[in-house]
Amino acid sequence: MLSFHKLCMLLNASTLAGAVAVASVASAADGVSSVTSAEATVSKNAHHDSLQSFRAVAHRDTFSGIKPLRDLKRLPGFGKQQLVGFDVALQGAPTPDGRSPKAAIGLNFDGIGQGVYGFSVSSAPPDTSGAIGATQYVQIVNSSIAVFSKASGALLLGAAATNSLFKGFGGPCEANNDGDGSVRWDNLAKRWVITQFSVTPQTAPFYECVAVSKTADATGGYNRYAFKYTTFPDYPKFGVWPDAYYFTFNMFSASLLGAQVCAYDRTKMLAGLPATQHCFQLKPNYASLLPADPDGASSVAVGVSNYMLALDSNSKQLNLWKFHADFKTPAKTKLTGPIAIPVTPYTQACSGSGGTCIPQAGTTNQLDTLGDRLMFRLSYRLYSDGHEALLASHSVDTGGKVAVRWYEIRSPGTTPVVTQQGTYSPDTTFRWMPSIAQDKLGEFAIGYSTSSKKLHPGIRFATRTPTDALGTLSNETTILTGAGSQEGSLNRWGDYSGMTVDPADDCTFWYTNEYEKVTGSFNWNTRIANFKIAGCQ
């Protein structure tokens, strides 16, 4: 009689083979089928200027008063799917040690958090984001930012209020420190791109505040921009692409209007010149799209559109769009999609609700999974043999536990197919808040939070190499064992974490996520660690 583990592996392999199927194009009635520039909104930046030196104006957050819980607008229509009885993509037992090369942790140090670098938590959750550049690692946690030495992890700047990057800019981007920040490294230009939104007060107009460094030094000068929106631009995410910086938002008025996707003129922003944005508004049944973002030193083929991916409310497919921006000839700007990519059916985290169910040691307070959306980032790589690969991840339910579901999608520019997928749940521990990336050898690393009734929230990662069985991860490694739980009815956790690849060697993964040093409320900490899978040079 087959063991449960072997049965899972056989079923998984069978499903993976069947998943390599021709994707079907969704009907226009489902949302945006094929959009041209005639339907796009083209607008100029609301304001732009130049900052000579970030280090000269950086200052700490002067917040005082009641510590706020950052607003998260739920996605109606998601988290209401039919439950799947058995996840055929389940990896129900750990892959034996030694199946693939192990990963060795290098630096492992505290990022911004309570009591570190003179920082005091003023809001929650941290919205942990980070990126690795030529000589520095930059971390942004909601409304604060810090710059670290890539070589040693030593603090070079911060923790500074993110809006101090907009000192002298004027208007809401300077006045407000509203968070939802992200940082990316533009490896093509060797520049930093740092963003957060301005939504105070919560009435129009709203702004996305963007700073593009003038050099590879994150503490130096920046070109600064504000882009304006008439509806609430929630949960912004962006990716670096040769022709544009591609942004996605969940737009809300009284209710969800749907995702809005925008392209900012990268060439003009690198030069510090006035820039425009081209935007498309999707229907309410599409939300939380992720734009593709290249890993490490990976290039992008000339003329390739940016790929955007999202969960579908039926939990049996992913939806993919292609966005091409042409700032010289706006009539050629085009968004096409969605293309439906079949996946192994899953149940969203927390018995289909996509909400709050993560247990913690020593408290009855549970944590939110954000299981109603793909988690940042949508990893992209163009390999030397010419094939393109996208990696994505999110949280799913595995019969009372929460686990990480991940996908590899190939040929996104022609006929996108899921070449492999897996649900990683090797034991009774809950795993969520994932972020995934790929190195130059086609090796994957996925980081995530861990917790259970017997464990405080911690941070781990698992890896795979091209020689591993399809749909499997191995060599789970602990970055940090948490020493406290989050309580006080504070359920939000994350809202995201960040896995990136060093562009210098194209091998070293850098990961940042949240944890608690001691049990409490509004006292979160973050961790930054790097590691490399043995054999990648």
Q: What is the structure's pLDDT at 79? A: 52
Taking only Cα atoms into account, the Rg of the chain, rounded to an integer number of angstroms, comes to 21
Whole-angstrom Cα distance, residue 346 to residue 396?
Answer: 7
Q: What is the structure's pLDDT at 92? A: 79
Count Cβ atoms within 10 A of the Cβ of residue 13 and give its class: 0-12 exposed, 13-18 middle, 19 or more buried.
middle
Whole-angstrom Cα distance, residue 507 to residue 465?
Answer: 12
CA-closest candidate to residue 160, choices 283, 236, 306, 61 = 61
* Assessment of whether the complete model's pTM goes beyond 0.75: yes
The domains located in the chain, with CATH, are 4-25+36-93+103-533 (2.130.10.10)
Q: What is the structure's pLDDT at 68? A: 79
Q: Mind listing the pLDDT tens digit for each residue in 301-336?
A: 888 999 999 999 889 999 999 999 999 999 999 999
- Which tokens hold the place of 54? 């970030």
pLDDT < 70: residue spans in the chain: 1-38, 63-66, 77-82, 95-99
Q: What is the structure's pLDDT at 314? A: 87
- Which tokens hold the place of 145? 């930012």
Whole-angstrom Cα distance, residue 58 to residue 166?
Answer: 9
Q: What is the structure's pLDDT at 76? A: 75
Q: Mind listing the pLDDT tens digit for each residue in 378-390?
A: 999 999 999 999 9
Q: What is the structure's pLDDT at 301? A: 84
H-type alpha helices, 185-236: none
